[in-house]
Structure 1
Amino acid sequence: MPALELNTRSLISPLGVVRFFEVFFACTAFSLVSVYHSYNGSNGVWCMFTWCFCFVVTLLIILVEFIGLAQSLPLSWQDFTSAFSMLAALMTFTTSVVYPSVFIANSCSGRDCAYKGSATAMSCLCFIAYAIEVGLTRAKSGEVSSFLATVPGLLKVFEAYVACLIFSLVDFTKSYRSYAGLQWCVAVYCICFIITMFIIILTVGRCLASLPFPLEKALVAYNFLAVLMYITATFVWPIYSFRDFSRTYACNAGLCREWNNRLGVTFLTIFNLIAYIVDLVYSSKMVFVTTPA
Protein backbone atom coordinates (compact mmCIF):
# COMPACT_ATOMS: atom_id res chain seq x y z
CA MET A 1 0.00 0.00 0.00
CA PRO A 2 1.47 3.40 -0.97
CA ALA A 3 2.54 5.71 1.84
CA LEU A 4 0.09 8.55 2.31
CA GLU A 5 1.15 12.09 3.14
CA LEU A 6 -1.33 14.73 4.21
CA ASN A 7 -1.54 17.62 1.78
CA THR A 8 -2.81 20.54 3.84
CA ARG A 9 -2.02 23.01 1.04
CA SER A 10 -4.83 21.49 -1.02
CA LEU A 11 -7.32 22.82 1.54
CA ILE A 12 -6.13 26.44 1.52
CA SER A 13 -5.39 26.79 -2.19
CA PRO A 14 -7.87 28.81 -4.30
CA LEU A 15 -9.18 25.56 -5.78
CA GLY A 16 -9.58 24.02 -2.33
CA VAL A 17 -11.50 27.05 -1.04
CA VAL A 18 -13.83 26.96 -4.05
CA ARG A 19 -14.53 23.27 -3.43
CA PHE A 20 -15.45 23.98 0.18
CA PHE A 21 -17.99 26.50 -1.08
CA GLU A 22 -19.34 23.89 -3.51
CA VAL A 23 -19.85 21.43 -0.68
CA PHE A 24 -21.49 24.06 1.52
CA PHE A 25 -23.90 25.34 -1.14
CA ALA A 26 -24.90 21.84 -2.33
CA CYS A 27 -25.43 20.63 1.25
CA THR A 28 -27.49 23.71 2.12
CA ALA A 29 -29.63 23.33 -1.02
CA PHE A 30 -30.69 19.73 -0.40
CA SER A 31 -31.09 20.37 3.33
CA LEU A 32 -33.51 23.25 2.73
CA VAL A 33 -35.52 21.23 0.23
CA SER A 34 -35.69 18.17 2.47
CA VAL A 35 -37.24 20.20 5.33
CA TYR A 36 -40.61 20.33 3.56
CA HIS A 37 -39.97 17.32 1.29
CA SER A 38 -40.27 19.72 -1.63
CA TYR A 39 -38.83 17.43 -4.26
CA ASN A 40 -41.73 15.22 -5.34
CA GLY A 41 -41.99 13.98 -8.92
CA SER A 42 -39.25 13.21 -11.43
CA ASN A 43 -38.07 16.84 -11.58
CA GLY A 44 -37.76 17.07 -7.82
CA VAL A 45 -35.90 13.76 -7.60
CA TRP A 46 -33.49 14.96 -10.31
CA CYS A 47 -32.78 18.18 -8.41
CA MET A 48 -32.21 16.36 -5.13
CA PHE A 49 -29.96 13.82 -6.86
CA THR A 50 -27.90 16.62 -8.42
CA TRP A 51 -27.23 18.37 -5.12
CA CYS A 52 -26.45 15.12 -3.27
CA PHE A 53 -24.28 13.77 -6.09
CA CYS A 54 -22.23 16.97 -6.35
CA PHE A 55 -21.90 17.16 -2.56
CA VAL A 56 -20.66 13.57 -2.18
CA VAL A 57 -18.24 13.55 -5.12
CA THR A 58 -16.75 16.95 -4.27
CA LEU A 59 -16.29 15.87 -0.66
CA LEU A 60 -14.50 12.72 -1.87
CA ILE A 61 -12.24 14.81 -4.13
CA ILE A 62 -11.30 17.05 -1.20
CA LEU A 63 -10.58 13.99 0.97
CA VAL A 64 -8.52 12.19 -1.69
CA GLU A 65 -6.36 15.23 -2.34
CA PHE A 66 -5.98 15.95 1.37
CA ILE A 67 -4.67 12.46 2.21
CA GLY A 68 -2.42 12.44 -0.87
CA LEU A 69 -4.09 9.49 -2.58
CA ALA A 70 -4.72 11.16 -5.94
CA GLN A 71 -1.42 10.12 -7.56
CA SER A 72 -1.90 6.48 -6.52
CA LEU A 73 -5.25 6.00 -8.22
CA PRO A 74 -5.28 4.09 -11.55
CA LEU A 75 -6.77 7.02 -13.45
CA SER A 76 -5.89 10.49 -14.69
CA TRP A 77 -6.86 12.55 -11.65
CA GLN A 78 -6.68 15.91 -13.42
CA ASP A 79 -8.88 14.63 -16.26
CA PHE A 80 -11.37 13.23 -13.75
CA THR A 81 -11.63 16.40 -11.68
CA SER A 82 -11.85 18.61 -14.79
CA ALA A 83 -14.60 16.46 -16.28
CA PHE A 84 -16.51 16.34 -12.99
CA SER A 85 -16.35 20.10 -12.42
CA MET A 86 -17.74 20.67 -15.91
CA LEU A 87 -20.46 18.05 -15.40
CA ALA A 88 -21.36 19.46 -11.97
CA ALA A 89 -21.59 22.99 -13.40
CA LEU A 90 -23.98 21.77 -16.11
CA MET A 91 -26.08 19.75 -13.65
CA THR A 92 -26.40 22.56 -11.09
CA PHE A 93 -27.23 25.06 -13.85
CA THR A 94 -30.03 22.79 -15.10
CA THR A 95 -31.28 22.29 -11.56
CA SER A 96 -31.20 26.03 -10.86
CA VAL A 97 -33.56 26.50 -13.80
CA VAL A 98 -35.78 23.44 -13.37
CA TYR A 99 -36.43 23.61 -9.62
CA PRO A 100 -37.87 27.16 -9.40
CA SER A 101 -39.82 26.75 -12.64
CA VAL A 102 -41.55 23.64 -11.27
CA PHE A 103 -41.79 24.21 -7.51
CA ILE A 104 -41.96 28.01 -7.18
CA ALA A 105 -43.73 29.29 -10.31
CA ASN A 106 -46.85 27.13 -9.90
CA SER A 107 -47.42 26.65 -6.17
CA CYS A 108 -45.51 28.59 -3.55
CA SER A 109 -46.63 30.37 -0.39
CA GLY A 110 -45.49 31.21 3.11
CA ARG A 111 -42.50 29.64 4.79
CA ASP A 112 -42.50 26.81 2.25
CA CYS A 113 -41.85 29.35 -0.50
CA ALA A 114 -39.02 30.91 1.49
CA TYR A 115 -37.29 27.55 1.83
CA LYS A 116 -37.70 26.82 -1.87
CA GLY A 117 -36.39 30.26 -2.80
CA SER A 118 -33.39 29.84 -0.51
CA ALA A 119 -32.67 26.41 -2.02
CA THR A 120 -32.79 27.94 -5.49
CA ALA A 121 -30.35 30.67 -4.43
CA MET A 122 -27.97 28.07 -2.98
CA SER A 123 -28.20 26.07 -6.21
CA CYS A 124 -27.31 29.15 -8.25
CA LEU A 125 -24.34 29.89 -5.99
CA CYS A 126 -23.28 26.26 -6.30
CA PHE A 127 -23.32 26.58 -10.09
CA ILE A 128 -21.19 29.74 -9.88
CA ALA A 129 -18.69 27.91 -7.65
CA TYR A 130 -18.37 25.03 -10.10
CA ALA A 131 -18.06 27.45 -13.01
CA ILE A 132 -15.18 29.14 -11.16
CA GLU A 133 -13.52 25.75 -10.68
CA VAL A 134 -13.83 25.06 -14.41
CA GLY A 135 -12.11 28.38 -15.05
CA LEU A 136 -9.36 27.64 -12.51
CA THR A 137 -8.58 24.16 -13.88
CA ARG A 138 -8.96 24.92 -17.58
CA ALA A 139 -5.71 24.64 -19.51
CA LYS A 140 -4.30 28.03 -20.45
CA SER A 141 -2.91 28.85 -23.89
CA GLY A 142 0.45 27.18 -24.42
CA GLU A 143 0.15 25.14 -21.22
CA VAL A 144 0.74 21.39 -21.28
CA SER A 145 -2.23 19.84 -19.54
CA SER A 146 -4.62 16.89 -19.57
CA PHE A 147 -7.05 16.61 -22.48
CA LEU A 148 -10.27 17.09 -20.50
CA ALA A 149 -8.93 20.35 -19.08
CA THR A 150 -8.70 21.83 -22.58
CA VAL A 151 -11.59 23.46 -24.44
CA PRO A 152 -12.18 20.39 -26.69
CA GLY A 153 -12.16 18.15 -23.61
CA LEU A 154 -14.67 20.32 -21.74
CA LEU A 155 -16.82 20.43 -24.85
CA LYS A 156 -16.85 16.63 -24.87
CA VAL A 157 -18.44 16.67 -21.41
CA PHE A 158 -20.94 19.29 -22.56
CA GLU A 159 -21.86 17.27 -25.68
CA ALA A 160 -22.42 14.10 -23.65
CA TYR A 161 -24.56 15.93 -21.09
CA VAL A 162 -26.75 17.60 -23.71
CA ALA A 163 -27.21 14.21 -25.38
CA CYS A 164 -28.45 12.81 -22.05
CA LEU A 165 -30.99 15.64 -21.82
CA ILE A 166 -32.13 14.83 -25.36
CA PHE A 167 -32.58 11.16 -24.44
CA SER A 168 -34.74 12.08 -21.46
CA LEU A 169 -37.07 14.13 -23.67
CA VAL A 170 -37.14 11.72 -26.62
CA ASP A 171 -37.92 8.81 -24.33
CA PHE A 172 -40.95 10.70 -22.99
CA THR A 173 -42.39 11.66 -26.37
CA LYS A 174 -41.75 8.29 -28.11
CA SER A 175 -42.50 10.22 -31.30
CA TYR A 176 -39.43 8.89 -33.08
CA ARG A 177 -41.19 5.58 -33.72
CA SER A 178 -43.53 7.19 -36.24
CA TYR A 179 -41.04 8.19 -38.96
CA ALA A 180 -37.78 6.83 -40.29
CA GLY A 181 -36.42 10.40 -40.26
CA LEU A 182 -36.89 10.66 -36.50
CA GLN A 183 -35.30 7.24 -36.03
CA TRP A 184 -32.28 8.56 -37.90
CA CYS A 185 -32.12 11.53 -35.52
CA VAL A 186 -32.17 9.22 -32.49
CA ALA A 187 -29.42 7.15 -34.13
CA VAL A 188 -27.35 10.34 -34.53
CA TYR A 189 -27.80 11.21 -30.85
CA CYS A 190 -26.87 7.67 -29.76
CA ILE A 191 -23.83 7.25 -32.03
CA CYS A 192 -22.31 10.61 -31.08
CA PHE A 193 -23.04 10.06 -27.38
CA ILE A 194 -21.43 6.61 -27.33
CA ILE A 195 -18.28 7.77 -29.12
CA THR A 196 -18.00 10.88 -26.96
CA MET A 197 -18.37 8.87 -23.75
CA PHE A 198 -15.82 6.37 -25.08
CA ILE A 199 -13.32 9.21 -25.55
CA ILE A 200 -13.98 10.54 -22.03
CA ILE A 201 -13.61 7.10 -20.43
CA LEU A 202 -10.39 6.35 -22.30
CA THR A 203 -8.99 9.72 -21.26
CA VAL A 204 -9.81 9.30 -17.57
CA GLY A 205 -8.56 5.70 -17.65
CA ARG A 206 -5.20 6.72 -19.17
CA CYS A 207 -5.78 4.47 -22.19
CA LEU A 208 -5.23 7.02 -24.98
CA ALA A 209 -1.58 6.09 -25.39
CA SER A 210 -2.55 2.53 -26.32
CA LEU A 211 -4.66 3.59 -29.31
CA PRO A 212 -3.17 2.42 -32.66
CA PHE A 213 -3.78 5.82 -34.32
CA PRO A 214 -3.05 9.49 -33.54
CA LEU A 215 -5.78 10.79 -31.26
CA GLU A 216 -5.67 14.42 -32.46
CA LYS A 217 -6.38 13.56 -36.11
CA ALA A 218 -9.01 11.00 -35.11
CA LEU A 219 -10.81 13.67 -33.06
CA VAL A 220 -10.84 16.05 -36.03
CA ALA A 221 -12.32 13.34 -38.25
CA TYR A 222 -14.91 12.39 -35.63
CA ASN A 223 -15.93 15.99 -34.94
CA PHE A 224 -16.32 16.62 -38.67
CA LEU A 225 -18.55 13.55 -39.00
CA ALA A 226 -20.54 14.55 -35.89
CA VAL A 227 -21.13 18.05 -37.31
CA LEU A 228 -22.49 16.57 -40.55
CA MET A 229 -24.74 14.16 -38.67
CA TYR A 230 -26.06 16.85 -36.34
CA ILE A 231 -26.74 19.17 -39.27
CA THR A 232 -29.08 16.55 -40.71
CA ALA A 233 -30.73 16.01 -37.31
CA THR A 234 -31.19 19.77 -36.85
CA PHE A 235 -33.34 19.92 -39.98
CA VAL A 236 -34.94 16.47 -39.95
CA TRP A 237 -36.13 16.42 -36.32
CA PRO A 238 -38.40 19.52 -36.40
CA ILE A 239 -39.71 18.68 -39.89
CA TYR A 240 -41.00 15.26 -38.85
CA SER A 241 -41.58 15.90 -35.16
CA PHE A 242 -44.03 18.77 -35.70
CA ARG A 243 -45.73 17.34 -38.79
CA ASP A 244 -49.49 17.53 -38.14
CA PHE A 245 -48.71 18.34 -34.49
CA SER A 246 -49.12 22.06 -33.85
CA ARG A 247 -49.08 23.55 -30.36
CA THR A 248 -52.77 24.46 -30.54
CA TYR A 249 -53.72 20.91 -31.46
CA ALA A 250 -51.39 19.42 -28.84
CA CYS A 251 -52.70 21.58 -25.99
CA ASN A 252 -56.33 21.03 -26.97
CA ALA A 253 -55.64 17.29 -26.86
CA GLY A 254 -53.89 17.56 -23.51
CA LEU A 255 -50.44 16.95 -25.04
CA CYS A 256 -48.79 20.29 -24.26
CA ARG A 257 -45.97 18.60 -22.40
CA GLU A 258 -45.21 16.32 -25.33
CA TRP A 259 -45.09 19.31 -27.69
CA ASN A 260 -42.76 21.14 -25.28
CA ASN A 261 -40.49 18.10 -25.12
CA ARG A 262 -40.27 17.95 -28.90
CA LEU A 263 -39.40 21.65 -28.95
CA GLY A 264 -36.81 21.04 -26.25
CA VAL A 265 -35.15 18.33 -28.35
CA THR A 266 -35.04 20.75 -31.29
CA PHE A 267 -33.16 23.42 -29.30
CA LEU A 268 -30.86 20.91 -27.61
CA THR A 269 -29.95 19.52 -31.02
CA ILE A 270 -28.98 23.01 -32.15
CA PHE A 271 -26.92 23.53 -28.99
CA ASN A 272 -25.02 20.30 -29.56
CA LEU A 273 -24.47 21.18 -33.22
CA ILE A 274 -22.88 24.47 -32.16
CA ALA A 275 -20.76 22.62 -29.57
CA TYR A 276 -19.49 20.16 -32.17
CA ILE A 277 -18.69 22.99 -34.58
CA VAL A 278 -16.67 24.81 -31.91
CA ASP A 279 -15.04 21.50 -30.97
CA LEU A 280 -14.09 20.93 -34.62
CA VAL A 281 -12.55 24.40 -34.88
CA TYR A 282 -10.46 23.96 -31.73
CA SER A 283 -9.41 20.41 -32.62
CA SER A 284 -8.40 21.46 -36.12
CA LYS A 285 -6.40 24.35 -34.70
CA MET A 286 -4.59 22.00 -32.31
CA VAL A 287 -3.65 19.62 -35.16
CA PHE A 288 -3.00 21.88 -38.15
CA VAL A 289 -1.86 25.10 -36.46
CA THR A 290 -0.28 24.26 -33.11
CA THR A 291 1.42 21.06 -34.17
CA PRO A 292 4.62 21.75 -36.12
CA ALA A 293 4.88 20.33 -39.62
Structure 2
Amino acid sequence: MPVIVLEARDFTSPLFLVRTLEVLTSCTTFSIVASLEPSELHKNVSIHNHTNTFQLFSMFTWCFFFTITLLIHILSVIQFHSLIPISWKNLTMTVAVLGALMCFSASLVFPWIVMDHQRLSPSSVTAAVAAFLTFIAYSSESYILQTQTHEQRGYMGSVPGLLKIVQLWGGCQVIPLVMEVVCGSSSKVHCWQQSVSCVSYGICILMSLVILVVILGDFAGRCLLPFDRFLAVFSLTGVLFYVVVTVICFTKILQMQDPSVKTENVNLVIMETVLAIITLLAYTVDLAFSIKLLCDRT
Protein backbone atom coordinates (compact mmCIF):
# COMPACT_ATOMS: atom_id res chain seq x y z
CA MET A 1 0.00 0.00 0.00
CA PRO A 2 1.55 3.35 -0.98
CA VAL A 3 2.21 5.91 1.71
CA ILE A 4 0.08 9.03 1.35
CA VAL A 5 1.63 12.28 2.52
CA LEU A 6 -0.20 15.51 3.30
CA GLU A 7 -0.58 18.09 0.58
CA ALA A 8 1.64 21.18 0.66
CA ARG A 9 -1.13 23.41 2.03
CA ASP A 10 -1.65 21.05 4.98
CA PHE A 11 1.87 21.80 6.21
CA THR A 12 0.82 25.38 6.95
CA SER A 13 -2.43 24.47 8.71
CA PRO A 14 -2.83 25.64 12.32
CA LEU A 15 -3.02 22.04 13.59
CA PHE A 16 0.23 21.04 11.86
CA LEU A 17 2.04 24.14 13.11
CA VAL A 18 0.86 23.80 16.69
CA ARG A 19 1.85 20.12 16.87
CA THR A 20 5.27 21.03 15.52
CA LEU A 21 5.54 23.64 18.26
CA GLU A 22 4.55 21.04 20.87
CA VAL A 23 7.31 18.69 19.74
CA LEU A 24 9.94 21.45 19.68
CA THR A 25 9.07 23.05 23.01
CA SER A 26 8.68 19.79 24.94
CA CYS A 27 11.96 18.47 23.52
CA THR A 28 13.70 21.75 24.39
CA THR A 29 12.28 21.72 27.91
CA PHE A 30 13.31 18.25 29.00
CA SER A 31 16.67 18.59 27.24
CA ILE A 32 17.53 21.75 29.17
CA VAL A 33 16.26 20.36 32.47
CA ALA A 34 18.28 17.17 31.97
CA SER A 35 21.42 19.25 31.42
CA LEU A 36 20.99 21.39 34.56
CA GLU A 37 23.69 21.06 37.18
CA PRO A 38 22.73 20.12 40.76
CA SER A 39 23.86 23.57 41.87
CA GLU A 40 21.11 25.10 39.74
CA LEU A 41 18.45 23.21 41.70
CA HIS A 42 17.57 23.24 45.40
CA LYS A 43 20.47 22.41 47.65
CA ASN A 44 18.45 22.56 50.88
CA VAL A 45 18.56 19.06 52.36
CA SER A 46 15.07 19.32 53.90
CA ILE A 47 13.45 19.71 50.50
CA HIS A 48 15.92 17.72 48.43
CA ASN A 49 13.58 14.73 48.20
CA HIS A 50 10.70 16.98 47.12
CA THR A 51 12.94 18.38 44.41
CA ASN A 52 13.84 14.94 43.06
CA THR A 53 10.24 13.67 43.07
CA PHE A 54 8.73 16.68 41.37
CA GLN A 55 11.61 16.99 38.93
CA LEU A 56 11.03 13.37 37.87
CA PHE A 57 7.30 14.10 37.60
CA SER A 58 7.96 17.09 35.34
CA MET A 59 10.52 15.22 33.24
CA PHE A 60 8.15 12.29 32.76
CA THR A 61 5.38 14.66 31.67
CA TRP A 62 7.48 16.41 29.04
CA CYS A 63 9.10 13.20 27.75
CA PHE A 64 5.83 11.25 27.59
CA PHE A 65 3.90 13.89 25.70
CA PHE A 66 6.85 14.62 23.43
CA THR A 67 6.94 10.95 22.44
CA ILE A 68 3.21 10.46 21.90
CA THR A 69 2.80 13.83 20.12
CA LEU A 70 5.69 13.02 17.80
CA LEU A 71 4.05 9.70 16.90
CA ILE A 72 0.70 11.40 16.29
CA HIS A 73 2.43 14.06 14.20
CA ILE A 74 4.23 11.50 12.04
CA LEU A 75 1.11 9.37 11.55
CA SER A 76 -0.87 12.46 10.60
CA VAL A 77 1.73 13.50 8.02
CA ILE A 78 1.91 10.12 6.29
CA GLN A 79 -1.86 9.57 6.70
CA PHE A 80 -1.25 6.18 8.29
CA HIS A 81 -3.61 6.60 11.25
CA SER A 82 -6.56 5.02 9.44
CA LEU A 83 -4.82 1.64 9.69
CA ILE A 84 -4.52 1.83 13.49
CA PRO A 85 -7.39 0.18 15.42
CA ILE A 86 -7.88 3.25 17.62
CA SER A 87 -10.44 6.04 17.55
CA TRP A 88 -8.14 8.71 16.14
CA LYS A 89 -10.36 11.70 16.89
CA ASN A 90 -10.74 10.64 20.54
CA LEU A 91 -7.01 9.94 20.84
CA THR A 92 -5.91 13.32 19.51
CA MET A 93 -8.43 15.16 21.69
CA THR A 94 -7.35 13.22 24.78
CA VAL A 95 -3.65 13.85 24.18
CA ALA A 96 -4.23 17.56 23.50
CA VAL A 97 -6.37 18.26 26.59
CA LEU A 98 -4.49 15.96 28.96
CA GLY A 99 -1.20 17.34 27.62
CA ALA A 100 -2.37 20.89 28.31
CA LEU A 101 -3.36 20.02 31.88
CA MET A 102 -0.25 17.98 32.64
CA CYS A 103 2.11 20.53 31.09
CA PHE A 104 0.34 23.30 32.98
CA SER A 105 1.05 21.46 36.24
CA ALA A 106 4.66 20.83 35.25
CA SER A 107 5.14 24.47 34.26
CA LEU A 108 4.02 25.47 37.77
CA VAL A 109 5.77 22.73 39.73
CA PHE A 110 9.18 23.18 38.12
CA PRO A 111 9.64 26.94 38.82
CA TRP A 112 7.92 26.78 42.21
CA ILE A 113 9.42 23.66 43.79
CA VAL A 114 12.36 22.46 41.71
CA MET A 115 14.19 25.66 40.80
CA ASP A 116 16.50 27.34 43.30
CA HIS A 117 15.08 30.86 43.56
CA GLN A 118 18.23 32.13 45.25
CA ARG A 119 20.50 31.10 42.39
CA LEU A 120 18.64 31.44 39.13
CA SER A 121 20.64 30.58 36.04
CA PRO A 122 19.87 31.38 32.38
CA SER A 123 19.37 27.67 31.68
CA SER A 124 16.79 27.19 34.42
CA VAL A 125 14.89 30.32 33.40
CA THR A 126 14.93 29.17 29.77
CA ALA A 127 13.58 25.77 30.84
CA ALA A 128 10.75 27.44 32.76
CA VAL A 129 9.85 29.59 29.74
CA ALA A 130 9.96 26.56 27.42
CA ALA A 131 7.72 24.63 29.83
CA PHE A 132 5.15 27.44 29.73
CA LEU A 133 5.31 27.55 25.93
CA THR A 134 4.66 23.80 25.87
CA PHE A 135 1.50 24.37 27.89
CA ILE A 136 0.45 27.15 25.49
CA ALA A 137 1.03 24.85 22.50
CA TYR A 138 -1.14 22.05 23.89
CA SER A 139 -3.82 24.54 24.92
CA SER A 140 -3.83 25.90 21.36
CA GLU A 141 -4.30 22.42 19.91
CA SER A 142 -7.14 21.78 22.36
CA TYR A 143 -8.82 24.99 21.21
CA ILE A 144 -8.35 24.12 17.53
CA LEU A 145 -9.84 20.66 18.03
CA GLN A 146 -12.74 22.10 20.04
CA THR A 147 -13.67 24.36 17.13
CA GLN A 148 -14.30 21.31 14.94
CA THR A 149 -17.72 19.73 14.54
CA HIS A 150 -18.99 17.26 17.13
CA GLU A 151 -18.40 14.32 14.78
CA GLN A 152 -14.78 15.35 14.27
CA ARG A 153 -14.15 15.85 17.99
CA GLY A 154 -15.63 12.55 19.11
CA TYR A 155 -16.82 11.66 22.60
CA MET A 156 -13.71 13.02 24.35
CA GLY A 157 -14.47 16.45 22.91
CA SER A 158 -17.85 16.56 24.64
CA VAL A 159 -18.34 17.85 28.18
CA PRO A 160 -18.49 14.34 29.76
CA GLY A 161 -15.36 13.36 27.83
CA LEU A 162 -13.48 16.45 28.99
CA LEU A 163 -14.56 15.76 32.57
CA LYS A 164 -13.07 12.27 32.33
CA ILE A 165 -9.78 13.78 31.19
CA VAL A 166 -9.85 16.12 34.21
CA GLN A 167 -10.48 13.10 36.44
CA LEU A 168 -7.47 11.28 35.02
CA TRP A 169 -5.35 14.43 35.37
CA GLY A 170 -6.37 14.84 39.01
CA GLY A 171 -5.44 11.24 39.77
CA CYS A 172 -2.04 11.64 38.10
CA GLN A 173 -1.29 14.84 40.00
CA VAL A 174 -1.77 13.34 43.45
CA ILE A 175 0.76 10.55 42.83
CA PRO A 176 3.90 12.62 43.64
CA LEU A 177 2.07 14.44 46.44
CA VAL A 178 1.00 11.22 48.15
CA MET A 179 4.50 9.79 47.76
CA GLU A 180 6.01 12.79 49.51
CA VAL A 181 3.40 12.89 52.28
CA VAL A 182 3.79 9.15 52.94
CA CYS A 183 7.59 9.41 53.04
CA GLY A 184 7.44 12.38 55.39
CA SER A 185 4.87 10.92 57.77
CA SER A 186 5.83 8.72 60.72
CA SER A 187 2.46 8.69 62.51
CA LYS A 188 0.50 5.44 62.49
CA VAL A 189 -2.71 7.44 62.09
CA HIS A 190 -1.31 9.22 59.06
CA CYS A 191 -0.13 5.90 57.62
CA TRP A 192 -3.63 4.47 57.92
CA GLN A 193 -5.11 7.56 56.32
CA GLN A 194 -2.61 7.46 53.49
CA SER A 195 -3.30 3.78 52.89
CA VAL A 196 -7.01 4.53 52.40
CA SER A 197 -6.15 7.50 50.18
CA CYS A 198 -3.73 5.47 48.06
CA VAL A 199 -6.29 2.71 47.53
CA SER A 200 -8.95 5.26 46.57
CA TYR A 201 -6.66 7.08 44.16
CA GLY A 202 -5.43 3.82 42.66
CA ILE A 203 -8.94 2.47 42.02
CA CYS A 204 -10.07 5.74 40.45
CA ILE A 205 -7.01 5.98 38.20
CA LEU A 206 -7.51 2.37 37.13
CA MET A 207 -11.18 3.04 36.32
CA SER A 208 -10.20 6.14 34.32
CA LEU A 209 -7.71 4.12 32.30
CA VAL A 210 -10.31 1.39 31.65
CA ILE A 211 -12.82 3.98 30.43
CA LEU A 212 -10.15 5.56 28.25
CA VAL A 213 -9.23 2.20 26.70
CA VAL A 214 -12.91 1.40 26.03
CA ILE A 215 -13.47 4.75 24.32
CA LEU A 216 -10.24 4.80 22.31
CA GLY A 217 -10.68 1.19 21.24
CA ASP A 218 -14.37 1.62 20.38
CA PHE A 219 -15.24 -1.24 22.74
CA ALA A 220 -18.43 0.38 24.07
CA GLY A 221 -20.63 -2.14 22.28
CA ARG A 222 -18.77 -5.07 23.85
CA CYS A 223 -19.32 -4.06 27.49
CA LEU A 224 -21.31 -6.43 29.69
CA LEU A 225 -23.44 -3.50 30.86
CA PRO A 226 -24.92 -0.82 28.58
CA PHE A 227 -22.21 1.79 28.17
CA ASP A 228 -24.26 4.65 29.65
CA ARG A 229 -24.92 2.62 32.81
CA PHE A 230 -21.27 1.64 32.92
CA LEU A 231 -20.29 5.32 32.89
CA ALA A 232 -22.84 6.13 35.59
CA VAL A 233 -21.46 3.40 37.88
CA PHE A 234 -17.94 4.66 37.19
CA SER A 235 -18.87 8.25 38.07
CA LEU A 236 -20.74 7.25 41.23
CA THR A 237 -17.81 5.13 42.41
CA GLY A 238 -15.44 8.03 41.78
CA VAL A 239 -17.65 10.42 43.74
CA LEU A 240 -17.76 8.07 46.73
CA PHE A 241 -14.01 7.47 46.77
CA TYR A 242 -13.15 11.15 46.40
CA VAL A 243 -15.59 12.14 49.15
CA VAL A 244 -13.65 9.81 51.44
CA VAL A 245 -10.32 11.21 50.22
CA THR A 246 -11.45 14.82 50.66
CA VAL A 247 -12.60 14.15 54.23
CA ILE A 248 -9.25 12.51 54.99
CA CYS A 249 -7.40 15.49 53.53
CA PHE A 250 -9.29 17.98 55.70
CA THR A 251 -8.71 15.74 58.71
CA LYS A 252 -4.97 15.71 58.04
CA ILE A 253 -4.93 19.49 57.73
CA LEU A 254 -6.53 19.78 61.17
CA GLN A 255 -4.12 17.24 62.63
CA MET A 256 -1.16 19.12 61.16
CA GLN A 257 -1.83 22.24 63.18
CA ASP A 258 0.75 20.84 65.57
CA PRO A 259 3.83 23.16 65.45
CA SER A 260 6.12 20.11 65.31
CA VAL A 261 4.77 19.12 61.88
CA LYS A 262 6.99 20.08 58.96
CA THR A 263 5.77 23.06 56.98
CA GLU A 264 6.56 21.29 53.70
CA ASN A 265 4.19 18.43 54.58
CA VAL A 266 1.41 20.89 55.41
CA ASN A 267 1.82 22.57 52.02
CA LEU A 268 1.76 19.21 50.25
CA VAL A 269 -1.42 18.15 52.06
CA ILE A 270 -3.08 21.45 51.11
CA MET A 271 -2.12 20.86 47.47
CA GLU A 272 -3.52 17.33 47.68
CA THR A 273 -6.76 18.69 49.18
CA VAL A 274 -7.21 21.23 46.38
CA LEU A 275 -6.65 18.56 43.73
CA ALA A 276 -9.05 16.19 45.49
CA ILE A 277 -11.77 18.87 45.54
CA ILE A 278 -11.28 19.68 41.85
CA THR A 279 -11.42 16.00 40.91
CA LEU A 280 -14.46 15.44 43.14
CA LEU A 281 -16.27 18.27 41.35
CA ALA A 282 -15.38 16.69 37.99
CA TYR A 283 -16.80 13.33 39.10
CA THR A 284 -19.93 14.98 40.54
CA VAL A 285 -20.71 16.92 37.36
CA ASP A 286 -19.95 13.82 35.28
CA LEU A 287 -22.37 11.82 37.43
CA ALA A 288 -25.05 14.45 36.82
CA PHE A 289 -24.54 14.14 33.05
CA SER A 290 -24.71 10.34 33.28
CA ILE A 291 -27.96 10.43 35.27
CA LYS A 292 -29.46 12.92 32.82
CA LEU A 293 -28.48 10.65 29.92
CA LEU A 294 -30.11 7.65 31.61
CA CYS A 295 -33.29 9.60 32.32
CA ASP A 296 -33.51 10.88 28.74
CA ARG A 297 -33.23 7.34 27.36
CA THR A 298 -35.93 6.03 29.66
TM-score normalised according to structure 2 size? 0.82
Whole-angstrom distance in 1 between the partners of 2:188 and 2:221:
40
- RMSD of aligned Cα (Å): 2.8
Q: Is 1:217 aligned to 2:229, yes or no?
A: yes
Secondary structure, aligned partner of 2:101: helix
Q: 2:143 is matched with which residue?
A: 135
Shift of the alpha carbon at 1:67? 0.8
* Amino acid across the alignment from 2:228: E
Shift of the alpha carbon at 1:71? 0.4
Q: Is 1:82 aligned to 2:90, yes or no?
A: no
For these two proteins, the number of residue pairs brought into alignment is: 282
Q: Is 1:197 aligned to 2:197, yes or no?
A: no
Q: 2:84 is matched with which residue?
A: 73
Whole-angstrom distance in 1 between the partners of 2:18 and 2:295:
36
Shift of the alpha carbon at 1:34? 4.3
| Residue 67 (structure 2) aligned to one of 56, 63, 67 | 56
Q: 1:172 is matched with which residue?
A: 180
Do 2:26 and 2:62's aligned partners in 1 also have CA atoms closer than 8 Å? yes
In structure 2, stretches of 5+ residues that fail to align are 42-50
Deviating more after overlay: 183-192 vs 270-279: 183-192
Q: 1:257 is matched with which residue?
A: 264
The C-alpha deviation readout for 1:7-34, integer Å capped at 9, x for no partner, is 2355332211211121222233234434
Runs of 4+ in 1 over 6 A off after TM superposition: none
Q: 2:33 is matched with which residue?
A: 33
CA distance 1:159–1:246, change in 2 (3 Å): same
TM-score normalised according to structure 1 size? 0.83
Whole-angstrom distance in 2 between the partners of 1:83 and 1:177:
39
Percentage of pairs with the same residue: 28
CA distance 1:83–1:247, change in 2 (3 Å): farther
| Residue 117 (structure 1) aligned to one of 125, 134, 138 | 125
Whole-angstrom distance in 1 between the partners of 2:291 and 2:2:
43
CA distance 1:141–1:11, change in 2 (3 Å): closer
* Amino acid across the alignment from 1:101: W
Whole-angstrom distance in 2 between the partners of 1:178 and 1:244:
10
* Amino acid across the alignment from 2:144: L
Q: Is 1:153 aligned to 2:161, yes or no?
A: yes
* Amino acid across the alignment from 1:97: L
1:274-285 equivalent positions in 2, closer than 5 A: 274-285=281-292
* Amino acid across the alignment from 2:279: N
Whole-angstrom distance in 1 between the partners of 2:283 and 2:148:
21
In structure 1, stretches of 5+ residues that fail to align are none
